[in-house]
Structure 1
Amino acid sequence: MPADRRTHIPAKRRRLFDALAWLALALLVLTTIAHLLTRPPAMPSYDEVRKAWQPSEAWLYDRDGRLLDSERVDFARRRMAWVPLADIAKPVRDTVVASEDKRYWSHGGVDWLAIASAAKTRWTGGRSRGASTLPMQLAAFLSPELALPGQRGWLAKIRQMRAAQALASNWSREQMLEAYFNLVPLRGETQGIGAGARALFGKKPADMDRTDAALFAGLLPNPAAGAETLGTRACRAAQAKDCGPLRAAAATLVSGERIAALDPALAPHLAVRLLDKPGKRVTTTIDRRIQEAAIVALRRQLSGLGADRVRDGAVVVLDNETGDVLAYVGGVGLKSTAAQVDGANARRQAGSTLKPHLYAQVIEHRWLTAASILDDSPVQLDTASGLYVPKNYDHSFKGPVSVRHALASSLNVPAVRALVIDDVQQFRDRLWALGYHGLVEDGEYYGFSLALGSAEVSLVEQANAFRTFANAGRWTPVRFSPSDKGEAARPIVAPAAAFIVGDILADAAARTDAFGADSALRLPFWAAAKTGTSKGMRDNWCIGWSDRFTVAVWVGNLEGDSMRAVSGTSGAAPVWRDVMLALHAGSPGKAPAMPADVEARQIALPGTREPPRREYFIRGTGQAEMAAAPAASRRPRITSPVSGSVYALDPDIPLDRQRLAVAVSGEVTGYRLILDKRPLGDADAGQQILPRPGSHMLALVDPGGRLVDRARFTVR
């Protein structure tokens, strides 16, 4: 063989070898690049997914484990607790697998037959059906970067396939299907079958039927699909011959008419108060039966009164012995313009509801008894902020009245006189001890108006303070959860005083003048109650107790505008009555036993409109007769003109016919009147003042010239 030929053959082989080597290298590089480009993110384990799962809701339960309410805490997605596969109805499982991935139980994460079929269909120009398997979709749920918008090319699909194979290698089929049902995005912000079954079908996943299963499967390709598209898909998934019912059900689902009522929504305000973490489950002291009764009573009353008169209300029920909150109704919606505000926890002006605590304090100190006489007549008190002139609710005065009558009829002027006997700071401190912790100022800040409830309090504080009377003066905090640690009872009110105040507030006869003989406060068993209305008719209260329960009701407008034609007995009291009757159905309340340091005596009250009666006294303070002090024993004072008054002269009436009559009370023999530092005459001579425009000072001095009283008035 020639030498040149022997040389040519190895060279040709070398070129072929080199070409093959380069080709192999190129394939290796391309394979490496393809491997890197299609490498999926690491897939978590099933246990990691379960551990990381957090529902968007938290749940509130009553004392017996019954659901009261749920609260949305996480607003990124709406999802419920993780639903085990066994708790998902079999028709749903079977329909979804048949519709989305019919060879799910046999392939290894990728359905190669479906891929080949899809490729053939696309090659021949037919309508391609997707080849995405449930593990591929699950991989996208676990790693959203696998299914970003616009990434539908073959590289993205291969990444999703590889991720699905990784899942199939490490998870069981049941685990993958369970995770799919819990992670699948549904209509709107709903995620997972737990939230979807509730929001879209009004059911639990275990209660879904074949129609629900078909609709659920029809939602999966496009959760935002319209009714027509959804109906067609559901019909195909169900393989139904008659699609009419499925199309109708699809229209209902899309309209939102079947949005769930599984959440009873019985305590939304308490849920906001107690639920603060996703997935949190709180068992409360609430009794669902009592909660529902309170809601029904409040809703009925507000509906009856009408939104043009009053829009809002709240109810709190306590167990006297334990302090457990048995009902907590912060509002019932209806036509409220502030439905999100918690009426049971909002601070509002107390009105007359603080009076029982005031009288309990003065009775406890033995400064007054239930039979002591207080003068219900005009009074004016000098305060740091000016003259304070309290008036009664009906702007009338009853004259001499007993403490029993004054408290039962909620008279304002006697209450202010009782506070003068007591001490504003002492009364403020008593209220603080009873749990009214909104009173952060000292007594001087509130002044004598504290007797009439000028301070702001919450309904929960009111209920627990009145519960102290039911517990013979012992105070403990309320409990919202059985896990709340109890405190040792603290004696706040003397048992004798608590008993006497309770007896007064249970006395229907004593409150007849103010509330009538058969008001809403009168029950067929023993119960004590106090109503109150704040300044400007903005708040209406009724708080009372029986031997076992304390019920507090507030009615008003949370935005602060005044109610119209609503009083203590027409606003909150009917709700209080209905709740009390529901609580004691078949088991009437019983009157408390009389403490050992209380005695009962027959008492006469000459000089008043009150007939003789049997009265209770702290032992050692009882008397057989109580009467108003005679005029001669009273401190002389000017009763007219009232200090602070403004008089306007009428230009059409002669000046000497517009004289002001001066009136004084008490024994004033030898006393003199001085007007603007000039003698006017004897105090008992029926003096008259010739009015002159300007500010005037009328003074009453005793025989020794000492100032006894004065009144400043203005003439215009």
Structure 2
Amino acid sequence: MADKRRSPASSKAPSKARAKPAKRKAPRKPAAIKRGPVARALRWVIRWTIGLAWSVLWRLGAVTALLVLGAAVYFVTTLPELDALIDGRARGSVTMLDREGEVFAWRGEQFGGMITADQISPHLKHAILATEDRRFYYHPGVDPIGVASAIRINLSEGRGPLSGHGGSTIAQQSAKLLCLGVPFDPARWESESAYEADCRETSLWRKIKEATYALALELKFTKDEVLTIYINRAFLGSGARGFEAASQRYFGKSAADVSPAEAAMLAGLLTAPTRYAPTNNLQRSQDRAAVIVGLMERQGYLDATEAANALARPARLSEAAEKRAGGYFADWVMSSGPEFFTRDTTEDVLIRTTLDQRLQTAAEEALRTVFDEKVREGSKAQAAIVVMSADGAVRAMVGGRQTGVPGLFNRATQARRQTGSAFKPFVYAAAMDFGYSPLDTIVDEPLTINIPGSGPWSPQNYTNRFYGRVTLTRALQESLNIPAVKISELVGRDVVQTVASEFGIQSDLAEGPALALGASESTLLEMTGAYAGILNGGSSVEPYGLTELTLLGDDSPLMDAAGGGIGERVIQEEAARKLTYMMEKVISEGTGTRARLPDRQAAGKTGTSQSARDAWFIGFTADYVAGVWMGYDDNTPLTGVTGSGLPAEIWHETMVRVHEGIPPKPLPMIVPEPSNRTPGTTTTSRSGQSSSQKSPEKPDNIAENILRDVLRGIFGGN
């Protein structure tokens, strides 16, 4: 190629002398573009407009900066000292202990006490920074980079610039938690919920105010002090305010001792406390924690080995948090305790209760077992269980099939339902107290009673058969209706009403003869408490769950229930022991055989209300009383279910588990001796008078029954 560049002449005889290079001419200057007058005018207008805009903008920016700084300085003057900003709860908390002193439930807003930024676990501190504000220590309270990034993300996801990601710093979030220093005023807000909603407003003006307040926090306090405010005021689900309370609530340990996995789970709650609360959905909370572990690793807070360990061993709930025992029981204690120390407390309260967590678990497992194995899938039927001691101390309570969740409808305490034949023991209690014997007889035969205003009423037995002369024991054992009505009419409905109400049935009791058949309504708690009165020898009980109430930090209790729940005597002890014998026959030989226990005596009674809308089984051993109700919330009749069926089986499953490890004891009952005594002979009655003054000589004489009813209406009394 080099040869081709030469001419033939030069290739043959190259020149000895090199030619001088020619002088380069200077480049010509481009000719000036001539602009017309319109173009020059337009160019001048543009330059003038840009200059004016810049002049206005920098002056406006300067004025805005001065205003923001002035507002921040003003906020600084209004800020109290650090200690006053730590606990911002409007209400106090209630912590409940079981009978062994173990925590099993929390209510209200929990605050675990102040913990500072340098006291919490370094892992927790790093998790918070990685999640909420990675440049926390490098900005003055507002992070322009974070705001710009949040706006970009929001717009890219099709939302408004201020909707979704906010780019808020920890200082700005603290300003929101402090509600810009505005306290709750009942005259301004209808409720605390409205107040909190106002504090969470996301308008542009609100964001500007939050940014200004955040600058004030940074001017007033150090970075670690701002972080201290945040970690103590943040809401973290399940009523926990602050990371110390949340750590105690979920892990049973201080926030100073949490592991990387636990720290990641706690920090993950900041985005959506209720959704990610591990007590609501542990798997969801663990998945969120895994994301936080990844952030901590990418930002250098965890090395690869630590991150791998945290992912391989995710955080688990403490034993108390995992059990979530006694949700219905805790709700009942809160509703039945003094309002100013429970529902509306402004103090932190510690309540010791009667709950036995072993028995609570037994009741929940029994209910779940029967429904899983013997109730058709998809059934909406509900059930409730109450277990208590003979003095009325409630040991377990299940208010429905859904357990472990607070605030649900409690069918054990709130549902008033017809008791059916479960009411009959109070009829026979009155009879035993009047001196009748379990072996006295009565005729089961057709019966018609004329009810003023309603006409004739003819009760029927469940089998639609009549059994002739039967003992009172068999009448109760087989749940015969006509003998129960006869006995009620003989001793007096008013007496039966008195016995039932004194045993604890607080509902309005039926006035007509159907009283004896359980036409009245009651709650399961009331009925179980009334049966406890039979077990303890005839004294009334007041079901109770609170044994001691103390303000957190105090040594002496403000109130206690040292005396238990036993009240006044209702029937004589001998009468109660006779009735216990009769009720034992219900389980050993009568309608309640499905409730029979394999290793100990038990007494009880089945009950089925009109149209089978409610099914009951209530009974007791020498150690515990238990009641079971089953039905539909909308009063739909049960299909193929009576008190002798599924309720008796639930009771059986419950009591088998309840008595595990407890040596069997005989029931406190009197086995009657055969006697030729005719009902009506003189014995000591419940009022101390001779029973011959109160009970008829021929209880099966229907004409005499009617005559006595007429005379009672005229002259009163018995």
TM-score, length-normalised on structure 2? Answer: 0.64
Instruction: Pick from 229, 232, 235 the counterpart of residue 182 of structure 1.
Output: 232
Identity %: 24
Residues 503, 34 of structure 1: CA spacing in aligned structure 2 closer, same or farther, 3 A cutoff?
closer
Instruction: Determine whether 1:591 maps to 2:623.
Output: no
**Distance of 1:566 and 1:468 partners within structure 2:** 28
Q: Following TM superposition, by how much is the alpha carbon of 1:100 offset from its aligned partner in structure 2, in angstroms?
A: 7.0
Q: Are 2:219 and 1:165 equivalent residues in the alignment?
A: yes
Deviation at 1:348, TM superposition (A): 0.9
Deviation at residue 356 of structure 1 after TM alignment: 1.3
Q: Aligned partner of 2:115: which letter?
A: P
Whole-angstrom CA distance in 1 between matches of 2:208 and 2:586: 86
Structure 2 Cα separation of the partners of residues 496 and 140 of structure 1? 68
Name structure 2 gaps, 5 residues minimum: 1-61, 147-165, 182-198, 277-286, 335-342, 549-559, 692-696, 705-718
Of the candidates 408, 416, 421, which is equivalent to residue 485 of structure 2? 416
Q: How does 1:482-493 map to 2 (within 5 A)?
A: 482-483=547-548, 484-485=560-561, 486=563, 489-493=567-571
Deviations 1:511-566 (A, max 9, x none): 63645xx5323542122111111111111111112223211111222221111111
- 1:573: which partner in 2? 648
2:73 is matched by which residue type in structure 1?
R
Which residue of the partner structure matches residue 635 of structure 2? 560
Name the residue aligned to 2:115: 84
1:449 aligns with 2:514: yes
Contact residue 434 and residue 683 of structure 2 kept, 8 A: no
| Equivalent position of 1:465 in the other structure | 530
Partner of 2:603: 528
Q: Does the CA contact (< 8 Å) of 2:94 and 2:349 recur in 1?
A: yes
1:271 match: 330
Distance change >3 Å, CA 302–CA 80, structure 1 → 2:
farther
State whether residues 95 and 238 of structure 1, in contact with CA within 8 Å, keep that contact through their aligned partners in structure 2: no
CA contact (8 A) 2:232 2:241 kept: yes
Q: Does 1:360 align with 2:429?
A: yes
Of 80-89 and 143-152, more deviation after overlay is shown by 143-152
- Highest RCO, 1 vs 2 (Cα 8 Å, sep ≥ 6): 2
- Give the AA of the match of 1:431: A
**Cα 1:87–1:289, aligned 2, differ >3 Å: closer, same or farther?**
farther
- Of the three residues 325, 343, 355, the one matched with 2:394 is 325
Gaps of 5+ in 1: 1-27, 119-129, 607-616, 623-627, 638-716
Instruction: Provide Cα deviations, 1:633-691, integer angstroms capped at 9, x if missing partner.
Output: 96689xxxxxxxxxxxxxxxxxxxxxxxxxxxxxxxxxxxxxxxxxxxxxxxxxxxxxx
In 1, Cα distance between equivalents of 2:534 and 2:141:
80
SS at match of 2:442: strand
Query: 1:162-213 CA distances to partner (integer Å, 9 max, x unpaired)?
Result: 4312123xxxx76543322233477999974368769999998566533554
* Closer, same or farther: CA 60–450 of 1 in aligned 2, 3 Å: same
Partners in 1 of 2:668 and 2:618 — Cα distance?
A: 21
Shift of 1:241: 7.6
Structure 1 match to 2:89 = 53
1:478 aligns with 2:543: yes
The verdict on how the C-alpha distance between 1:481 and 1:218 changes in structure 2, with shifts beyond 3 A counting, is closer
Q: Amino acid of the residue matched to residue 554 of structure 1? A: W
Aligned counterparts of 1:387 and 1:200: Cα–Cα separation in 2: 63
Partner of 2:500: 431
Given that 2:332 and 2:413 are in contact with CA atoms closer than 8 Å, whether structure 1 keeps it comes out as no
For 1:376-415, list aligned pairs within 5 A: 376-384=444-452, 385-415=454-484
Asked if the contact 1:354/1:453 (under 8 Å) is kept, the reply is: yes
Aligned partner (choices 597, 602, 612) of residue 537 of structure 1: 612
Pairwise CA distance, 1:141: 3.9
1:512 aligns with 2:577: no
Number of aligned residue pairs: 553
SS at 1:544 equivalent: strand
How far did residue 153 of structure 1 move? 9.9
Question: Closer, same or farther in 2 for the Cα pair 1:151/1:508, shift >3 Å?
Answer: closer
Contact 1:218 1:231 in 2 (8 A): no
Matched, 1:601 2:655: no
Aligned to 2:385: 315
For residue 506 of structure 1, give the secondary structure of its aligned residue in structure 2: helix
Provide the residue aligned with 1:142 in structure 2.
Answer: 178
Structure 2 CA distance for partners of 1:425 and 1:264, relative to 1, 3 Å: same
Structure 1 counterpart SS, 2:105: strand
> What is the CA-CA distance between 1:379 and the residue it aligns to?
1.1
8 A contact 2:503–2:541 mirrored in 1: no
Q: Map 1:104-123 to 2 at 5 A.
A: none
Distance 1:492 1:221 in 2: 58
SS at match of 1:419: helix
Equivalent of residue 441 in structure 2, options 369, 373, 392: 373
Question: Counterpart of 1:530 in 2: which secondary structure?
Answer: strand
RMSD, aligned α-carbons: 5.2
Greater helix content: 2
2:161 is aligned to: none
Which residues in structure 2 correspond to 1:22-33 (within 5 Å)?
A: none
Deviation at 1:434, TM superposition (A): 1.3
Are the counterparts in 2 of residues 380 and 389 from structure 1 also a CA contact under 8 Å? Answer: yes
Q: Secondary structure at the match of 2:80?
A: coil
Q: CA offset at residue 302 of structure 1?
A: 2.3
Seen in structure 2, the aligned counterparts of structure 1 residues 203 and 302 have a Cα distance that, compared at 3 Å, is farther
Counterpart of 1:489 in 2: which secondary structure? strand
Q: How far off its partner does 1:299 sit?
A: 1.8
> One-letter code of the match for 1:328?
M
